[in-house]
């Protein structure tokens, strides 16, 4: 009987460890360099994409409307509000990605758009050469935090490929919303 009880305890402990391991956040310690990296989510009506490398869920088609990062006028829509209130695949819980999360989609040596081969994302011709806001304020000048980081899919010099920039928060750029990940308000 003692052996039986210890076997039950071992199975219970293993089940508990599996549950705890499954609850741990996705780590970014692997690279998935194949067409299977991205999975279009049928449960989201095929309008959201799971990135198996980072554990993030992205809009399959970013909004085609440009918005400022912060309001240029009282009551104006912003990139944050656009993501925070967005419904994708009949789900709320979207947000503007950090610069690191947005950069995780990019392949530094890929040119226009700088996304992995075989990606499932649907971008307009303007977005292929567009700029996308991140939620990250640019800490270039602590006295005037009026800039935020963005990625720029367009470059006139193919040798430099992906460009990152810090721009005035009232400039209109695209927002590519994400779900899950760190889940904090990094602004």
Residue 92, in any domain of the structure: yes
Residue 185, in any domain of the structure: no
Q: Is 78 helix (H, G, I), strand (E, B) or coil?
A: coil
Please state the three-class secondary structure of 129-175 as a single string. Answer: CCEEEEEEECCCCCCCCCEEEEEECCCCCCCCCCEEEEEECCCCEEC
Q: How confident is the model at residue 160 (pLDDT cuts 50, 70, 90)?
A: low
Q: What is the pTM of this model?
A: 0.74
pLDDT at 3: 46
Q: How many CA atoms lie within 13 A of 150 on its CB side?
A: 26
* Pairing mode of beta strands 131-137, 57-59: unpaired
Residue 184, in any domain of the structure: no
- The tokens describing 10, both together, are 């071992």
The count of domains in the chain is 1
- Per-residue pLDDT tens digits for 2-57: 444 444 333 333 333 333 334 444 555 566 666 788 999 999 999 999 998 889 99
Higher-pLDDT residue of 6 and 121 is: 121
Q: Which domain holds residue 162?
A: 2-179
């Amino acid at each position: 009987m003692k052996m039986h009880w210890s076997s039950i305890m071992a199975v219970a402990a293993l089940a508990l460890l599996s549950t705890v391991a499954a609850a741990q956040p996705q780590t970014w310690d692997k690279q998935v360099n194949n067409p299977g990296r991205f999975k279009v989510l049928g449960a989201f009506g095929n309008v959201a994409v799971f990135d198996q490398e980072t554990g993030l869920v992205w809009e399959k088609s970013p909004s085609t409307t440009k918005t400022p990062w912060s309001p240029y006028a009282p009551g104006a829509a912003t990139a944050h509000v656009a993501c925070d209130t967005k419904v994708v695949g009949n789900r709320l819980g979207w947000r503007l990605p950090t610069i690191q999360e947005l950069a995780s989609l990019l392949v530094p040596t890929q040119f226009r758009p700088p996304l992995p081969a075989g990606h499932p994302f649907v971008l307009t011709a303007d977005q292929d050469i567009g700029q996308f806001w991140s939620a990250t304020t640019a800490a270039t000048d602590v006295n005037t935090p009026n800039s935020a980081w963005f990625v720029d899919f367009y470059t006139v010099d193919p040798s430099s490929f992906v460009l990152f920039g810090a721009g005035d928060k009232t400039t209109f750029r695209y927002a590519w919303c994400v779900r899950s990940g760190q889940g904090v308000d990094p602004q």
